[in-house]
Amino acid sequence: MKIAVLPGDGIGPEVTREAVKVLEALDLPRLTLFDGDVGGIAYKRHGQPLPSETLTIAQSCDAVLFGAVGDPDCDKLERALRPEQAILGLRKHLDLFANLRPAKVFAGLEHLSPLKPEIAKTLDMMIVRELTGDVYFGDKGEKVANDGSQEGWDMMSYSETEVRRIAQVAFRTARAGDDKCRVCSVDKANVLETSQVWRDTVKDAAGSHPDIELSHMYVDNAAMQIISNPAQFGVILTGNLFGDILSDLASAAVGSIGLLPSASIGDRKTDHGVFGLYEPIHGSAPDIAGQCKANPMATILSVAMMLRYSFGRENEAARIEMAVEKALADGIRGGDLGGEHGCEEIGEAVRERL
């Protein structure tokens, strides 16, 4: 089991440290960890947010555990040198086109959600976000507009090929869950050509999957429905930008962004699963970095996803998930959930309950 550990910036190192300790506590055979620099720290040490050595380490492993990148000191750098390019570059170079972001309110923990308990308890969805296309990776630039003012532009596009492969992931994911194969594809086809191609392609791809119950929704409505009627969603299939926004929204409905893990996968296989990059959906949280205030649960739950998807270790994955649930049920809470437990204490509480 070769795992690249890329902690990154801000709270990245704190939450990754706790997640690695949980992984090590499982006493798995032949576990080897390799460290690499990414983000602002990599820029400061090597002049690049994604040094080639880091990419080589990631490529040579079966899975990557990623913390977070982002540093306010770097926000004025030219875009290619900014910390965020590290995660975008890893996703692109490793062809990790599918991002799975589960959002679920654990039974008995409805009170962590700002939603009414009877609504919160029905929230259990998987956001399948396309990760290597969309406006994120199109041409972009700045020019002088006709009136002489500065204008920024970003090209948004999706090809049928890109949409078809992510749709297949969503259909497979729906089938693997126990939610009657519901897939809701979220787009903005009433306005965007990109979304029209998206919608037509998803419909066409679903044609050969009669067991999939496919629906379509505009993204503005989806944002509203996730909060008001989450029970209707099983799998949400959406593009890169909409998926980014909707997953932060879903995390707030669960209770905190410090609780949501993610898996980014592509087609490359490992001995017991697929190669993947695993990371919390949150960022480097510079406002609380270095104060032991970060909730490491999202990163710990990302390790569970890693064990499930890249190493076929369902038992250990479930042990981690149950330990996190138990810790929350026992009142272990970071500041994000209105509690006082520090990052290390939360990590230790999870390890004790494994």
Q: Which is catalytic among the residues 154, 200, 204, 220?
A: 220
Q: Which of residues 234-293 bind ligand IPM (CB under 6 A)?
A: 244, 281, 283
Q: Which of 71, 84, 244, 321 binds Mn ion (CB under 5 A)?
A: 244
Burial 188-204 (b: 16+ CB within 10 A, else e): bbeebebbebbbebbee
- The region of 63-71, 148-156, 209-217, 312-320 touching ligand NAD under the rule CB under 6 A is 63-71
Q: Which of 70, 243, 273, 347 binds ligand NAD (CB under 6 A)?
A: 70
Q: Which of residues 67-106 bind ligand IPM (CB under 6 A)?
A: 84, 87-88
84 contacts Mn ion (rule: CB under 5 A): no
CA–CA dist 319, 304 (Å, integer): 8
CA–CA dist 322, 106 (Å, integer): 10
Q: What share of the chain is helix, strand, coil (3-state, %, to 5)?
A: 45, 20, 35
174 contacts ligand NAD (rule: CB under 6 A): no
Please say if 9 is a catalytic residue: no
Please say if 188 is a catalytic residue: yes
Is residue 248 classed exposed, middle or buried when 0-12, 13-18 and 19+ CB atoms within 10 A define those classes? Answer: middle
Beta bridge partners of residue 277, listed in sequence order: 64, 264
130 contacts Mn ion (rule: CB under 5 A): no
68 contacts ligand NAD (rule: CB under 6 A): yes
Q: Tell me 178's DSSP state.
A: S
Torsion angle of alpha carbons 235, 236, 238, 242, nearest 10°?
A: -140
Nearest approach in angstroms of CB 348 to Mn ion is: 28
* Binding stretches for ligand IPM (CB under 6 A): 84, 87-88, 244, 281, 283
* Catalytic site positions: 136, 188, 220, 244, 248
For ligand NAD, the binding residues (CB under 6 A) are 11, 15, 68-70, 84, 87, 257-258, 279, 282-288, 294-295, 298, 334, 336
